[in-house]
Amino acid sequence: MYLHFDQIPKSNTFASLPDDFYTRLPTTPLSQPRLLHASSESARLIGLSPAAFSESVFLNVVSGNVALPGGDTLAAVYSGHQFGVWAGQLGDGRAHLLGGLKGPDGLWELQLKGAGQTPYSRMGDGRAVLRSSVREYLASHAMVGLGVPTTRALSIVASADRVMRETMETTAVVARMAPSFVRFGSFQHWAAKQRPDLMRLLADYVIDHFYPECKAFDKHKDSDAYQYVRLLEIVVQRTANLMADWQANGFCHGVMNTDNMSILGLTLDYGPFGFMDAFDAGHICNHTDSQGRYAWHAQPAVAHWNLYQLANSLHLIVPDADALRQALDSFETFFLSSMQKKMMSKLGLTDWQDGDHVLIDDLWSLMHRNRADFTLTFRQLAHVSGLTDASAVQIEHDLGGTVNASIQPFVDLFIDRDDASAWLDRYRRRIAQQGSPTNHERIQSMLASNPLYVLRNHLAQQAIEFAQEGDNSEIERLLTILANPFEAKAGFEAYSALPPAWASKIEVSCSS
């Protein structure tokens, strides 16, 4: 484990692309930077020892006050559709790629968010406020804990600098890491500019570094362009899996513009995201999204639409539109099968039977009608014992109660308890039909699939308010439970409780 950034081997692969892809420029120093938090787990990925966090070199680099030794600082250009409308050129308006770090298991690009203006800042100040930075920092960790693909957060640095949003707010810089920050919009950029040569370079870069399997095709049978169809197929599959992950965790991204869609299928660019409290299929987490374009239930279809834009761009280097269309069409199958697998493990189903679709759809409807808490509904379901399973008695004994003791916490989450009980009867009968695993095993596997803790808005809000006072203890506490959100921790009961009334008043907008 290294103590300094300069000891980590570098490979600035993105910077090795021609300079059409970016602008080289330094970050803008931050006044009175103070390390609010750094992640040992993220540091380990790049071979950096957590002991580095107390070194001034670390703070200087992750605040953007000193360039990464051996790095190559740049802002990347891309374009995209925002809220369904072509926005033209965008680019890293407040992100700087510092360089590529060779970790023990692979290469990580290190990027700072909020380290000053770039040629792509348009009207923006190039800064990020502490509020949204804490949210990104926590959310990246929450996703890792849930097993959802995401960019990583290495550190968060607070500053005395202030910027204007709805009110004056203090700024911060998050250092984040991903194997690549290339977006759908990076491809759209070259389609808009009618530059097949540069798009091919970008596609080859992505294939060489991340999807080498695309190169395995029969050169006698298929044209060179076939590898780009394979690229689309893989991105379709990864994105479909990501959507299933989001849906199964009640996660809303909030700004699924094509420039926020990762070519690696990672959750990228945390803005007004939200993990749902009360389930509403049409939940809109972004206060600015008045039309509900990015509502929870719309996310898979939006991802498909975004993939269509990527395919449309790739058409510039793939003449065979039918092949691209076919790759796009596989989205639904990938999404549905991934979603089915996730729902099976969330409900503890070991096989798929006729009627399971209806059972699951009816659960969503029940939750929606009752605005039942997303996370607790599934978590409490795990504690419900099967009807005729002999080991149920033992489980109920272990839980310290009667048969009803296993059911009551679930039923109590619903306003209409009869409605909930009726569905639960069907579920328990369904579970009882499964000979194996035992009730105990099912409960254990369901507890491992249904988190107890999620980054609820009000929990993030508490951490923000502490951070605004210079206190990182709430971030620390949240990270303790979010690192393994499936395991109940003594002393953290309040973190898994239903949200307080004020939580529904929190408004999260694009302003960050």
Q: Are 275 and 251 in contact (CB under 8 A)?
A: yes
Q: Does 88 bind ligand AMP (CB under 6 A)?
A: no
CA atoms lying within 13 Å on the CB side of residue 93:
16
Mark out the alpha helices in 80-154 (DSSP H runs): 130-146
Q: Does 92 bind Mg ion (CB under 5 A)?
A: no
Task: Closer to ligand AMP by CB, 126 or 250: give it.
Answer: 126
Closest CA to 236 of 116, 338, 136: 338
Closest CA to 344 of 368, 336, 392, 331: 336
Q: Per-residue string for binding with ligand AMP, 271-300, x by CB under 6 A?
A: x-----------------------------
Q: Does 186 bind Mg ion (CB under 5 A)?
A: no
Q: Which entry of Mg ion, ligand AMP, none binds 23, CB below 5 to 8 A by partner kind?
A: none
Q: Does 127 bind ligand AMP (CB under 6 A)?
A: yes
Q: Per-residue string for binding with ligand AMP, 423-452, x by CB under 6 A?
A: ------------------------------
Token look-up 């009667």 returns 402
Q: Of residues 72, 161, 245, 259, which has the active-site annotation?
A: 259
**Options 260, 267, 450, 472; binder of Mg ion; rule CB under 5 A:** 260
Alpha carbons 384 and 390: distance in angstroms, whole number: 14
Residue 425 annotated as part of some ligand binding site: no
> Which DSSP string do the residues of 487-505 spell out, in sequence order?
S--TT-GGGGSPPPGGGGG
Alpha carbons 152 and 222: distance in angstroms, whole number: 38
- Tokens coding 310: 């990527």
Q: Does 269 bind Mg ion (CB under 5 A)?
A: yes
- Could you confirm whether 245 is annotated as catalytic? no
Which residues fall within 8 angstroms of residue 262, CB to CB, at 6 or more apart?
151, 178, 180, 181, 182, 183, 268
Q: Per-residue string for binding with ligand AMP, 165-204, x by CB under 6 A?
A: ----------------------------------------
Which residues fall within 8 angstroms of residue 359, CB to CB, at 6 or more apart?
347, 426, 427, 430
Minimum CB separation of residue 407 from Mg ion in Å reads 45
Which residues fall within 8 angstroms of residue 486, CB to CB, at 6 or more apart?
447, 448, 449, 450, 451, 452
- Which listed range, 123-131, 139-147, 302-310, 491-499, lies at the site for ligand AMP (CB under 6 A)? 123-131
Q: Does 90 bind ligand AMP (CB under 6 A)?
A: yes
Residue 70 annotated as part of some ligand binding site: no
Minimum CB separation of residue 174 from ligand AMP in Å reads 13
Minimum CB separation of residue 61 from ligand AMP in Å reads 21
Q: Are 298 and 346 in contact (CB under 8 A)?
A: no
CA 241 to chain centre: 12
Minimum CB separation of residue 469 from ligand AMP in Å reads 24
CA atoms lying within 13 Å on the CB side of residue 363:
22
DSSP bridge partners of 109: 100, 178
Residue 400 annotated as part of some ligand binding site: no
Q: Quick check: bond before 437 cis, omega within 30?
A: yes
Task: Closer to Mg ion by CB, 259 or 277: give it.
Answer: 259
- Which listed range, 88-96, 141-149, 303-311, 485-493, lies at the site for ligand AMP (CB under 6 A)? 88-96
Residue 260 annotated as part of some ligand binding site: yes
Minimum CB separation of residue 260 from Mg ion in Å reads 5
Alpha carbons 197 and 316: distance in angstroms, whole number: 10
Residue nearest Mg ion, Cβ-based: 269
- Which listed range, 97-105, 253-261, 306-314, 395-403, lies at the site for ligand AMP (CB under 6 A)? 253-261
- Beta strand 168-178 with 95-103 is unpaired
Q: Does 255 bind ligand AMP (CB under 6 A)?
A: yes
Minimum CB separation of residue 181 from ligand AMP in Å reads 11
Secondary structure class of 171 (helix, strand, coil): strand
Q: Which residues would be at the binding site for ligand AMP (CB under 6 A)?
A: 90-94, 120-121, 124-127, 255, 257, 260, 269, 271
- Residues forming contacts to Mg ion in the complex (CB under 5 A) are 260, 269
Residues of the binding site for Mg(2+) = 260, 269
Active site residues: 259
